[in-house]
Structure 1
Amino acid sequence: MMSPKASAMPFEVNAVCKRLQLEAVNMGKALPTLGAMEALRLLKAGNAFLDVRSEGEFAAGAIPGSSNGPILTNDERHLVGTTYKQIGSAEAVALGHKLVDPHRPARVAGWAAKLAGQAVPLVACWRGGMRSGLAQSWLAEAGVPAVKISGGYKALRAILLEEIARPRAGLVIAGNTGSGKTKLLRSLKSASVVDLEDMAGHRGSSFGGLFLPEQPSQGTFENRLGLALFSTEEGQRLLLEDESRLVGRCVIPDPFYKSLSALPRFELETPFFERVQNIYEEYVEGPLRSFPPELVHEKLDGSIEALRNRLGGADTNELRAMLKDSFQKKAPHEAWIEFLLRRYYDPLYAYAMARHPHKILARGSASELKSFLARG
């Protein structure tokens, strides 16, 4: 069965703009709307949209390319919802207007600023109902011809979840910790690259969240993945890094993880001393350029301590002592990194590969992988 993407005609932003301009001529009938599929194609082409859900709803799940400008804030939405449940719909709507009307000019001005420069100024709420309809009307009164996304966030997300569930062809880059898989993946600069760690805001290891911003919500992570897959060409082979089910606190959705687990591998082989140096540069040298040594030591020490149940008490204590010596300049940082790789990460990788054997298409260096990909 063909996917909606496959059956769609080639998409042109200009064509959508012209059609919406024609609809705008008849705005006396209704303000213009756009289907969720077409809206996602616009997002794929670089268009953004305004999401007028509350800040709490937006934090729980946001579509890439959206910016938040609540028509009702968390507190206002709570009051309106309580009124709806306890008294009724008409009273809830009246309260909503009472709460929002004093802030309406400022909110409309903020929305207009967010939509400035967009080929098609899109607006959405949860289901494309009253909130986005009001925002669209108020924007029209202010001279901004916004277009409402039919079905709202719910319809957009449904399409993205369908994308995640579709079987995929691809190649997974595997390799020991520190081998440079992420660096290699990002150097490929291909539309077929799906960078799960970038989407999750986490490097994937036990140390992967150090000195990074807070991870996105699970909903936002899934939406990022869905839009990335939606943006690939039909039948294009994906390129991904081997990941465990959890990337930090973000969970790779089950259908996609099963698809990922079945894909063939290219095993990146990197000399041990280079792996040690890669880890040193990413987790020690890099952070020390931006943070005081005491904080870097504290964060690394905490990550080691979090491994106690898996690493064992004796090795954890020894590793923490080695880390302390390194920050006191009694020993090189490479010493504790080597210990961590040999006693924990390398055995863990070997165990995982033995427990879940995959088809290995080739093994080699980063340059050899690039040559392998170039041959198709």
Structure 2
Amino acid sequence: MSHRQPVRVGDRHAFDTLIDARSPAEFALDHIPGAINCPVLNDEERRIVGTVYVQTGAFEARRIGGAMVAANIARHLRDTLADRPENWKPLVYCWRGGMRSGSMVTWLRLVGWDAQQLAGGYKSFRRHVISQIDTLTPKLDLRVICGATGSAKTRVLHALAARGAQVLDLEDFASHKGSLLGSLPGVAQPSQKHFETLIAAVLETVDLSRPLYVEGESIRIGRLSLPLSLVARMRAAPCIEVAATPEARLAYLLRDYAYLGDDREALADKMGVLKEMQGKETVARWQQWAHEADLPHLFAELMALHYDPHYQKSQELHFKAWVQRRSVVAEDLSDQGIEAVADAVLSLDKGASPSA
């Protein structure tokens, strides 16, 4: 049975299932959204074949690898793919669109399925991601949601999305809240590549004639870097400030970061990085509060002495339109208050008077 011409990245949506034939480690690092992992070589098998290739040569590597590939494809046919109907149409890819995906396509087509191979494999998809971000980002009608620490900006984004607004939630994609205390307990950040893949997947669906709301971020979220084209677009976009009172912000932080009190030692360690900036005496006090899980005192001083003094200058430095920003005043950041902030943000684009 002859194969058709390999499929281009832009045509991948025409298929019933995307199959990533790479190893689990490669898949975990990044993959096409929606793909399932059916490795033709697992991580250890891939290592073995690579070692044989270097030490013995290509023929022996193909002989040993071929047996492993056949066994793995047989297992997928018995298990993961056993319930697929006769008219099922999968698209298979590996690293470069070579032997791993080609082997699986051969067997799937022998079964009778209309299996196709992605031209260029994951590498072509990776180029597509970078191209999409750089091409689409300058066309975005961005609205940057700003606000001092504790202004519930991410929750406002969620409320906007619930109202049908277009939203790009970068902190969700980064699995990080974007601040000194922003790492999520037990949740690792994704790879830089997968972070960018998630961004590109949203940008591909955006209606460029409508606003896209995004939280004002620095160039990094945890250890991940924002694409430079997106940073440039954000820096030039109109700003909407959630002007929340200190009392409302502290109450929100105590709810949103309550879990920090569960690991007091880790919290105290994080305070240690501020010694040079805040002084040993101040940080010692903060570490004592951390050890006692006294979050009200700790968060209040972090706001007053660390975050707030730099807020205005930071916004002016990073956002060209900061001086012309529009503001939504918020004295309440409860669930109901956040809903009201979202309504007020949307009203700004409709020319209504902002209030929350």
- TM-score when normalising by structure 2: 0.84
User: CA deviation digits over 1:294-338, x for unaligned, max 9?
Assistant: x4323322322233333332221111223334x3xxxx6322211
Q: CA deviation at 1:248?
A: 0.9
- Give the aligned residue type for 1:217: S
Q: 2 CA distance for matches of 1:281 and 1:161? A: 37
The answer to whether the 8 Å contact 1:193/1:239 transfers is yes
Q: Is 1:188 the counterpart of 2:160 in the alignment?
A: yes
Which range moved further: 220-229 or 189-198? 189-198
Q: Unaligned stretches of 5+ in structure 1?
A: 1-27
What are the within-5 Å matches in structure 2 for residues 338-353 of structure 1? 338-353=300-315
How do 1:115-264 and structure 2 match up within 5 A?
Answer: 120-142=89-111, 144-166=113-135, 167=138, 168-189=140-161, 190=164, 192-264=166-238
C-alpha distance 312-111 of structure 1, shift in aligned 2 (>3 A):
farther
The one-letter code sitting in structure 2 at the alignment partner of 1:152 is: G
Q: How far is 1:153 from its partner? A: 1.2
Residue 276 (structure 1) aligns with: 250
- Preserved contact between residue 112 and residue 144 of structure 1 (Cα < 8 Å): no
2:40–2:68 contact (8 Å) kept in structure 1:
no
**Aligned mates of 1:174, 1:60 — CA distance in 2:** 31
- Greater Cα shift, 129-138 or 109-118: 109-118
Shift of 1:277: 1.0
Answer whether contact 1:112 1:139 (CA < 8 A) is retained. Answer: no
Q: Does 1:82 align with 2:51?
A: yes
1:201 deviates by 0.8
| Matching residue's letter, 2:271 | I
Determine the C-alpha separation between the residues in 1 that align with 2:151 and 2:327: 12
Is 1:337 the counterpart of 2:299 in the alignment? Answer: yes
Fraction of identical pairs, as percent:
30
Offset of 1:231 from its aligned partner? Answer: 1.8
1:232 Cα offset (Å): 1.4
Counterparts in 2 of 1:144 and 1:129: CA distance versus 1, 3 Å: same
Which amino acid is 2:93 matched to?
Answer: A
The Cα of 1:264 is off from its aligned counterpart by 1.8
Q: Answer whether contact 2:236 2:319 (CA < 8 A) is retained.
A: no
C-alpha distance in 1 between matches for 2:351 and 2:49:
60
Aligned AA (1:180): A
- Superposed counterparts of 1:44-83, under 5 Å: 49-83=18-52
Structure 1: distance between partners of 2:165 and 2:74: 41
1:275 Cα deviation (Å)? 0.6
Find the residue that maps to 2:81 and give its secondary structure.
helix
SS in 2 for 1:34: coil
Mapped to 2, the partners of 1:361 and 1:113 lie a distance apart of 57
> 2:3 — aligned with what?
30
Cα 1:101–1:138 change in 2 (3 A) is same
Aligned residues, how many? 333
Q: For residue 43 of structure 2, what is the amino acid of its counterpart?
A: N
TM-score (norm 1): 0.79
SS in structure 2 of the partner of residue 188 of structure 1: helix
Corresponding residue number in structure 2 for 1:19:
none
Q: Return closer, same or farther for 1:171/1:31 CA change in 2, 3 Å cut-off.
A: same
CA RMSD of aligned residues (A): 2.8
1:84 to partner: Cα distance: 3.3
Aligned partners of 2:97, 2:61: CA distance in 1, in Å?
A: 18
**1:224-261: CA deviations, max 9, x gaps?**
11111112134443211011111111111222222222
In the alignment, does 2:261 pair up with 1:297? Answer: no
Q: 2:69 is paired with a residue of what secondary structure?
A: helix
Matched position secondary structure for 2:237? coil
What residue identity is the alignment partner of 2:301? F
What amino acid is aligned across from residue 317 of structure 2 in structure 1?
R
Confirm or deny: 8 A CA contact 2:97 2:120 kept in the other structure.
yes
SS at match of 1:269: strand
> Aligned AA for 2:253?
I
Shift of the alpha carbon at 1:374? 4.2
Cα separation, 2, equivalents of 1:208 and 1:196:
13
Contact 2:3 2:116 in 1 (8 A): no
Moved more, 102-111 or 220-229: 102-111
